[in-house]
Amino acid sequence: MQSFELIALHKSLYYNDPSLFLFTPGRVNLIGEHIDYNGGLVLPFAITKGTYLLVSKRNDKIINCYSKNFDNLGIISFNIDSYEKGSNWADFVKGAIYELNKLGYKLPFGLDLTFLGTIPTSSGLSSSASLEVLIFNCFKQIYNIDISDEKIALLSQAIEHDYIGVNCGIMDQFIISCAKDNSVMLLNCANLEHSYSKFELGDYRILIMNSCKKRDLASSKYNERLNECKWALEIVNKYYKVNDLCSLKFTDLIHIKDKFEDDVIFRRALHCVSEMARVKDCYDALQNNDLELVGKLLNQSHESLKNNYEVSCIELDTLVEAALSQPDCLGARMTGAGFGGCAIAIINKDRVNDAIKDIKNKYLEVIGHECEVYVARVAGNTRILNLGEDYEL
């Protein structure tokens, strides 16, 4: 879709010219999977797939919300001062107002809002966090609210916890709100300490491979892994006093391997400890511009997620195997919660088009339905777009 088409749609919906055009990215976690809740580090980056928003001011207290992605719902309207949950996507807008009201902000006038998301559905690239951060940036600009990117991340998480009712982590909102151009973020999800490393791909590109499989098991298996990790930590603490699994040294875990009566519980701990080491090594490799080592670490991460943490699936494994079969592929792994969603790969730029075609063919042959494969470009955080310039969204 072209930007002028979205602007024309906004005008046809509200008979009003937009005064603000915003874009907020989605995110990919390069490495550091399923260890954020075990005291581990993550290494995410923002991407140029995300959420667009056109805004017009109103003279009343009505908020009108329309999403091109949920065209069947039409325009959803509510009053700033009195609204109820609607069990639809506009609850994220209401949730942002709810959080600002708790801080003492009273929004003085209504808005006409038109959204367009370019993050594939059920891909695990964090469309909800992108939407949340976008809404707060919209309110920041329109209502002149003094609020930092870090605070926007925390408020976006609060929407999930307090209003939507989902007990999510902080990684998605934090990287999306605080991303820097051409960079990855090393983030400690426990205390929000973070640093950045340049993510310069040179002759290589990141491919995102969407399995197009809905992540049906992700939620239940997530809770199962949480409990298994708690069990593993209880065993570890009989011999080493640590606050979380990722604080344990690899040699210490191996030293008490025979204390784990259940091999499954040991393998869960093994993933956490080894993945923590891989995140640190990957961050160092990026600072040294060693993409070959980054690729090897991605491969090791996938093997551990598949065999030790058991959150992969045939769809994700097929994508990874298809990517690794390509010439000049440095590495590949599943990313996100697992049991569907996406995998990523690092491919030489001269091989990208052939690789995309071959990966799609191999996936269709094995799985029986199509996948999506596209190049991920590294993005910064929310930006204001030029209303007078036309470009592809």
Taking the C-alpha atoms of residue 157 and residue 83, their distance in angstroms, rounded to an integer, is: 21
Taking the C-alpha atoms of residue 316 and residue 298, their distance in angstroms, rounded to an integer, is: 14
Rounded (10°) angle between helices 91-102 and 127-142:
50
**Rounded CA Rg of the chain:** 22
CB 205 within 8 A of CB 14: no
CB 132 within 8 A of CB 117: no
CB 221 within 8 A of CB 338: yes
Instruction: Given the residues 91, 172, 252, 262, select the one marked as catalytic.
Output: 172
DSSP state of 206: E
> In the beta sheet, which residues pair with residue 195?
186
- Confirm whether 290 is a catalytic residue: no
Spell 130-162 as b/e; 16+ CB within 10 A means b.
bbbbbbbbbbbebeebeeebeebbebbbbbbee
Q: How far apart are the first and last CA of the chain?
A: 6
Taking the C-alpha atoms of residue 393 and residue 382, their distance in angstroms, rounded to an integer, is: 15
Taking the C-alpha atoms of residue 155 and residue 92, their distance in angstroms, rounded to an integer, is: 11
331 CB contacts (<8 Å, ≥6 apart)? 294, 295, 296, 297, 298, 299, 324, 345, 346
Query: 271: closest CA among 30, 37, 27?
Result: 37
Taking the C-alpha atoms of residue 331 and residue 205, their distance in angstroms, rounded to an integer, is: 11
Active site positions, annotated:
172
